[in-house]
Amino acid sequence: MHRRLRLDEELYVSHQGSGASMRTVRDVVFVDGLRTPFGRAGDKGIYAGTRADDLIVKCIRELLRRNPSLPPARIDEVAIAATTQTGDQGLTLGRTAALLAGLPRTVPGFAVDRMCAGAMTAVTAVAGGISFGAYDVVVAGGVEHMGNHPMGSGTDPNPRFMSERLVDPAALNMGNTAENLHDRFPAITKERTDAYAVASQAKYENARRNGRIQPDLVPVAALKPGQGWTLNTADEPPRPGTSLADLAGLRTPFRAHGRVTAGNAAGLNDGATAAVLASAEAAAELGLAVKMRLVSYAYAGVEPEVMGIGPVPATEKALKNAGLTIADIGLFEINEAFAVQVLSFLDHFGIPDDDPRVNRYGGAIAVGHPLASSGVRLMTQLARQFEEDHSVRYGITTMCVGLGMGATVIWENPHHPEYTDNSGARPGGSAATETASEGAA
């Protein structure tokens, strides 16, 4: 039997002068998460005429509407991630988004950047503050408008990277790193990645048809150049009905006769996500539902040339920190930057390509990957699966990160029979969420 780690079992001792003060490390809970529908980047996408900061503001406002027992003045921090922090994604986005969303001026905010794991890092950063006692309630999330800000736009990499051969130039192109993973793991063939991609599209469509996606989407009215106003209520990137034959003939843009295509990789997308996290005690005090408890998290660095392998060491570290093994994990939400990256993770841990624990609602290959926002999408989908499946105790959200990193967060299901909580917080149910979603529509 593994030892269930509870944050409130641990004590930090800080020495101040001749005395010592004891601080209890508190449990961090995931209260609610949502996102905008994801759009395709570019002039034809649904958000071609929409500002990035307006997307994240929409998410923050909807979180408050869905959780009416949370007074805005009780929010202690707003942490918002973006990869390209300029233009409508710049100017200390957490603070500007808080002001634009109508939060009290007393609520501070900051911006985060860890490329694809931006929103995930925003969550873990504020979680540390909650566990330490600096915060009670926070909002964390991310936004990426890749139509306005293509990945890498406006950057100026230090010439030492090349002159001193600190990294291979190919590491600056994510598609090239995916081809490198194919080279390193020849058992991961194009046929396998295409089959995985087809399954991702099918799982997403099945989840959508069964009402698993819509409750956590915020409808967004957007002015599209040349078309006027539209109300966007559904994701734009998915391609239902995708077949192996459809993918077989796609070109390989990163290498002649390569294996990575637009069909077995996530696209270029626009979108935003946000979540409310709190201490278990604050959630109980305010009557906020608890959808997940944070168990552990970890980040890891890997060779930039094969950045897609990053989730492997990050997950190993997070499991070790939690006193768990991979066998204890009942659900996996793995960001599908590339199919080869997901399959390298599954192969390492001996998990079949079609394991029903993995990405039950499909993944980024279907729904899209607006870089810094995707971490909270993974969490929101895992939380909904916890509500549906009380037999699962632990789940993982994990993703690879550009320039050679991995990020993993492990969560516990409050609906599981062995879950214990002394704070009085109630496990989150779908009823409140469905009511809120109906109002949003």
Q: How do residues 78-112 score in pLDDT, each as one tens digit?
A: 999 999 999 999 999 999 999 999 999 999 999 99
Q: Is residue 1 over pLDDT 50?
A: no
59 catalytic, yes or no?
A: no
Q: Is 50 exceeded by the pLDDT of residue 11?
A: no
User: What is the distance, to the nearest Å, from the Cα of residue 254 to the centroid of all Cα atoms in its chain?
Assistant: 26
Evaluate the CA torsion angle 137, 383, 116, 180 in order and state its sign. Answer: positive
Mean pLDDT of 303-316: 98
116 is catalytic: yes
Residue 42: left (phi > 0), alpha (psi -120 to 50), or beta? left
| Residue 23 confidence (pLDDT) | 65
At residue 327's C-alpha, the angle toward residues 323 and 333, to 5°, is 95
369 belongs to the catalytic site: yes
Distant-in-sequence, close-in-space partners of 197: CB < 8 Å, separation ≥ 6: 242, 247, 263, 264, 339, 365
pLDDT given for residue 428 in this prediction:
77
115 is written with which tokens?
């490329």
Which range is least confidently modeled, 35-39, 221-225, 379-383? 221-225
Q: Is the pLDDT of residue 435 over 80?
A: no
Residue 151 confidence (pLDDT): 86
Q: What percent of the chain has pLDDT over 90?
A: 83
Alpha-carbon distance of 295 to 413, in angstroms, equals: 10
The residue annotated as part of the active site, out of 145, 149, 369, 415, is 369
The whole-number pLDDT of residue 161 equals 87
**Residue 330 pLDDT:** 99
In terms of Cα–Cα distance, which of 65, 54, 33 is closest to 440?
65
CATH superfamily of 7-147+169-420+428-440: Thiolase/Chalcone synthase (3.40.47.10)
Which residues contact residue 61 at a Cβ distance below 8 angstroms, ignoring those fewer than 6 apart?
101, 102
Nearest to residue 174, comparing CAs of 312, 266, 38, 236?
Answer: 266
How many CB atoms lie under 10 A from the CB of residue 10? 11
Is the pTM higher than 0.75?
yes
* 113-122, 126-135, 216-225, range with the lowest pLDDT: 216-225
Structure tokens at 96: 């500007």
Handedness of CA 278, 221, 118, 210 (dihedral sign): positive
Pair of tokens at residue 237: 């990137």
| Closest C-alpha to 247, from 236, 268, 269, 262 | 262
d(CA 276, CA 60): 9
pLDDT tens for 161-215 read 888 988 888 778 999 999 999 999 999 999 999 999 999 999 999 999 999 999 9
Q: Which amino acid is at 44?
A: K
User: Could you tell me the residue ranges of all domains in the chain?
Assistant: 7-147+169-420+428-440
Average predicted confidence (pLDDT) for the chain: 92
For residue 340, pLDDT beyond 50: yes
Q: Return the number of other C-beta atoms located less than 10 Å from residue 158's C-beta.
A: 9
Catalytic one among 145, 149, 182, 400?
400
DSSP string over 328-386: GEEEEEE--SBHHHHHHHHHHTT--TT-TTB-TT--HHHH---GGGHHHHHHHHHHHHH
The one catalytic residue among 116, 145, 182, 415: 116
